[in-house]
Structure 1
Amino acid sequence: MRKISLVVLAFFLLLTGCAPNFQKEQEIVQEKDDSKEKAIIPKYKISDQYYQTILPFEPSEARGLTVSQLNTRYDIDEFETGLMRIAQNTFNPDKFLFQEGQYLDRKTVGLWLNRKYTDEQVEKLEMKAEENIGLNPVDPGEGDVQTRNRENPIYLAHILEHNYLVRGEDGTARLGGIVIGLAMNSVHYFQEVQYGATYETKIEHAVLDREGKRIAQEVVGRLRQIKGLEKVPITIALFEQESNSSVVPGNFFAYANVSEGSSKLGSWEAVKEDYVLFPSTDAQNNYRDDLTTFLNFKQDVEEYFPNFNGVIGKAFYIDNELQDLSINIPIQFYGKSEAVGFTQYVTGLIMEHFPNYIAVEVNISSVNGPEALIVRKVNQDEPFVHIYN
């Protein structure tokens, strides 16, 4: 069986897919406002499904905020990669290049994520009036803290910007569109006093949908006031993040486009994506057939190691159809030969239980760290298997 390292595979999946298509390195001229700069398009394009980037890499000025604003590592990863999937509905990867956001800086994003403040609160905080531009609701400051936070939760958790450059026939690249992700809280966490107990209030999806679309229209209006963004097409997408105890990420649930030169959002398109834990009540209620297949696989794994019950799966659905399944199997091994034998056994179970239109990834680990990786892509006859040394 062929081998592939976990690091290389993860990089390919995130940025460029998995089917090599090697081209010559290209030099282009990137147009920026009134200036022009030379840039390089890397020669390795692994798949037509994913965007190429340009070099030198230019990080967003708001880089790093995602980590501090979202609840879990799962949400952080999905918010970024899911926004790229949303972009593909509007910006063709064959024609556009990806670049991290260059227009919303850290201070601007921070101010937008604030609550809106009353005049008295602005004075108390010693803020400038022009900095009172928070997109979250006002906390009136009257009554007990829990009631105020239940009635006026923080809806907007984070704002993420991606830029898409269009290649011209004359060897230039200019901004062709901007994609904005709005991460919305399904749970608002708050404290009565600093360093005190943390409380929470759940936010209904219908409320997030309403508030997210309201905030989106305000964001579009503000983007049009930024130099360089007066006319470019805009896509804006809404993401519902999970609670801080979740072991699966949240998902995007709607997006809308703004045509060139307009400040009005077009009609909202539903995004039917979902991450589901196997086994779980959600899987039992909504995806029973797929859960049964997983449980049969789990049962066969457990026959290899009696009294073992640690097989966990994360399923990704689009339009209620299972797209890929990631499975973690933590096992205590007592030798490398045992790990190799178990990996071979699990590989056979993958081919036996899961139809080939589903992508499956299995990570086998022990207390010593990763032991093996098995990857079976869609319509693949023979999976990739890597045994860690």
Structure 2
Amino acid sequence: MRKFSLLALSLVFFLSACAPNFEKQNETVQTKEKVEGKAIIPKYNISDSYYRTILPFEPGEARGLVVNNINTRYDLNEFEMGLMRIAQNSFDTEKYLFREGQEIKEDEIRRWLNRKYTKAQLTDKKIKEAKNTGLNPVDTGKKGEPSSPIYLAHILEHDYLIKNDKGNVTLGGVTIGLALNSVYYYKKTADGDTFEQKIPHSELVREGKKIAAEVVKRMRNMKNLKNVPITIALFEQASKSSVVPGNFITYATIDEGSAALNSWEKVNEKYFLFPSNEAKNAHRDDLTAFLNFKQDVEEYFPNYNGVIGRAFYIGDQLQDLNINIPIQFYGKTEGIGFAQYVTGLVMEHFPKYLSVTVSVTSVDGPEALIVRKANETEPFVHIYQ
């Protein structure tokens, strides 16, 4: 039988990659970070895909900057979660604890995101040379006609803490995400139209690697970051109009005490919009399965064609498919019947190895959520009240 839940459950529990590990108890430890004090390690580890977060929670230094610097909420989510996936190549989820970035201060990040200034520009802006630490190229063009794009949009730091035999928690490693613009937006006048300049992928990668080397060099000059291992990754964010997120493209590790980057490793991940010509050219069979599903949904509502999907690939293998169905119901029982129908379609059209999530929404908000995890025979269905 399919499972129907009428209780408000936290999304994070049923989206976890495997069964929660509830055997551990809350653990109080001594932290050596900044000012000594007590911290709590949560007893629940909801998935091997996530890190336990040390408590009390400390917001990241750059928390207030990310919304302004990242183009879409899709990019924002993928930038954070993708960086955590990359971290797992270096920092074991069973061994390390997660903390939002605390080492690179907000003011420092703000300055790094600026352009580099000429001496004349420093005088004009009344900025001291010591603060001229922008990682984006100097603009020597005329007003409103930039000579070069802004490549670096945002810097995200994640800290990974480790507990020793004496119960002390210290910084064990750091990951840095560099969000790079695939499209540079600028205005010729303050109140004028916004212009776009597409940045070639090869140029973006080349400049991103240069920026990464400089970031690591600067980190090694910081007291707490002199010796810890570092992983740094490049994220190519999508355009502002995109309905799918960008993706990480490459990462490098830096050994303890070193400022030299090891060889760059390719990150073979990408999102596709279903349906789209790009998906048709790259993954025709997967798109066909989605279109058959979409067609059957439209048989339930013949005048409706708003089904869209966001497909996540690692290499050529489809890993997750998130489908959104915005529709208007005239009663709760109609919504329940539709959820039952769509659940059957999910089980019928998509292979067992694929994780599928379907969100059914209306103008009143979320109506139903259907989750079929990979290799599971029974889906989870939640009807919102």
TM-score range, shorter chain: over 0.9
CA distance in 1, matches of 2:93, 2:232: 18
Amino acid at match of 1:71: N
Aligned partner (choices 344, 348, 351) of residue 355 of structure 1: 351
Does residue 94 of the first structure (1) align with residue 99 of the second (2)? no
Does residue 283 of the first structure (1) align with residue 279 of the second (2)? yes
Contact 1:26/1:41, CA 8 A, preserved across alignment: yes
Identity, % of aligned positions: 60
Partner of 2:335: 339
Partner of 1:128: 128
Partner of 2:372: 376
Partner of 1:157: 153
Q: CA deviation at 1:19?
A: 1.5
Residue 6 to residue 204, structure 1, CA distance change in 2 (3 Å): farther
State the secondary structure of the residue aligned to 2:347. helix
Q: CA deviation at 1:61?
A: 2.0
Contact 2:237/2:246, CA 8 A, preserved across alignment: yes
Q: Deviations over 1:213-240 (max 9, x none)?
A: 0000000000001111001000000000
State the secondary structure of the residue aligned to 1:257. strand
Q: Deviations over 1:161-212 (max 9, x none)?
A: 0000112122121111000000000000001111211101000110011000
Q: Deviations over 1:77-135 (max 9, x none)?
A: 11011100010011010110000101111110000000000000000000011111100
Residue 134 to residue 307, structure 1, CA distance change in 2 (3 Å): same
Contact 2:179/2:237, CA 8 A, preserved across alignment: yes
Partner of 1:308: 304
Does residue 224 of the first structure (1) align with residue 223 of the second (2)? no
Q: Deviations over 1:264-309 (max 9, x none)?
A: 0000000011011000011011011100000010011111111211
Q: CA deviation at 1:12?
A: 3.7
Amino acid at match of 2:342: V
Contact 1:12/1:18, CA 8 A, preserved across alignment: no
Q: CA deviation at 1:20?
A: 1.7
Contact 1:357/1:379, CA 8 A, preserved across alignment: yes
CA distance in 2, matches of 1:48, 1:263: 31
Residue 47 to residue 239, structure 1, CA distance change in 2 (3 Å): same
Q: CA deviation at 1:17?
A: 4.8
Partner of 2:266: 270
Q: What stretches of structure 2 of length at least 5 have no aligned partner?
A: none
Contact 1:252/1:273, CA 8 A, preserved across alignment: yes
Partner of 1:44: 44
Does residue 239 of the first structure (1) align with residue 235 of the second (2)? yes
Q: Deviations over 1:232-268 (max 9, x none)?
A: 0000000000000000000000000000000000000
Q: CA deviation at 1:3?
A: 4.3
Contact 1:373/1:386, CA 8 A, preserved across alignment: yes
* Count, aligned residues: 383
Q: CA deviation at 1:388?
A: 1.2
Q: CA deviation at 1:8?
A: 4.3
Amino acid at match of 1:275: Y
> Which 10-residue stretch deviates more, 349-358 or 36-45?
36-45
Q: CA deviation at 1:143?
A: 3.6
Q: What stretches of structure 1 of length at least 5 have no aligned partner?
A: none
State the secondary structure of the residue aligned to 2:92. coil
CA distance in 2, matches of 1:176, 1:144: 46
Contact 1:6/1:373, CA 8 A, preserved across alignment: no
Partner of 2:55: 55
Q: CA deviation at 1:359?
A: 0.3
CA distance in 1, matches of 2:11, 2:236: 24
Amino acid at match of 1:215: I
Q: Deviations over 1:284-337 (max 9, x none)?
A: 110111000000100111111112111100000011210000001111211112
Superposed, 1:79-228 pairs within 5 Å as: 79-140=79-140, 142-143=141-142, 145-146=144-145, 148=146, 151-228=147-224
CA distance in 2, matches of 1:13, 1:377: 9
Amino acid at match of 2:242: S
Partner of 1:30: 31
Task: Report the aligned-residue RMSD.
Answer: 1.5
CA distance in 2, matches of 1:195, 1:85: 40
Residue 72 to residue 95, structure 1, CA distance change in 2 (3 Å): same
CA distance in 1, matches of 2:295, 2:48: 38
Residue 171 to residue 3, structure 1, CA distance change in 2 (3 Å): farther
Residue 127 to residue 5, structure 1, CA distance change in 2 (3 Å): farther
CA distance in 2, matches of 1:157, 1:7: 37
Contact 1:161/1:178, CA 8 A, preserved across alignment: yes
Q: CA deviation at 1:48?
A: 2.1
Partner of 1:292: 288
Structure 1 length normalisation: TM-score? Answer: 0.95
